[in-house]
Amino acid sequence: MALLSIFFFFKFFFSPPTPKEDVPQSIYAFKVEALDGSTIDLSKYRGKKILIVNTASKCGFTPQYKGLEALYEKYKRTMVIVGFPANNFGKQEPGTNQEIATFCQANYGVSFPMAAKISVKGDDMAPIYHWLTEKKYNNYSDNSVKWNFQKYLINERGEMVAMFPSNVTPDDKSLIDAIEH
Of 34, 59, 70, 176, the active-site residue reads 59
For the entire predicted model, the pTM comes to: 0.87
pLDDT for 74: 98
- pLDDT at residue 18, as a whole number: 36
Residue 59 among the catalytic residues: yes
Estimate the crossing angle of helix 64-75 against helix 173-180, to 10 degrees: 20
pLDDT score at 24: 83
The pLDDT assigned to 8 comes to 45
β-pairing, 151-154 vs 49-55, is antiparallel
Which pLDDT belongs to residue 22?
78
**Residue 67 Cα to chain centre, angstroms:** 18
The tens-digit pLDDT sequence of the chain (181 residues) is: 554 454 444 444 444 333 355 788 899 999 999 999 999 999 999 999 999 999 999 999 999 999 999 999 999 999 999 999 999 999 999 999 999 999 999 999 999 999 999 999 999 999 999 999 999 999 999 999 999 999 999 999 999 999 999 999 999 999 999 999 9
Taking phi over 0 as left and psi of -120 to 50 as alpha, with beta for the rest, 91 belongs to left
Give the pLDDT score at 70.
98
Question: How high is the pLDDT of residue 2?
Answer: 55
What is the dotted CATH code of the domain comprising 27-180? 3.40.30.10
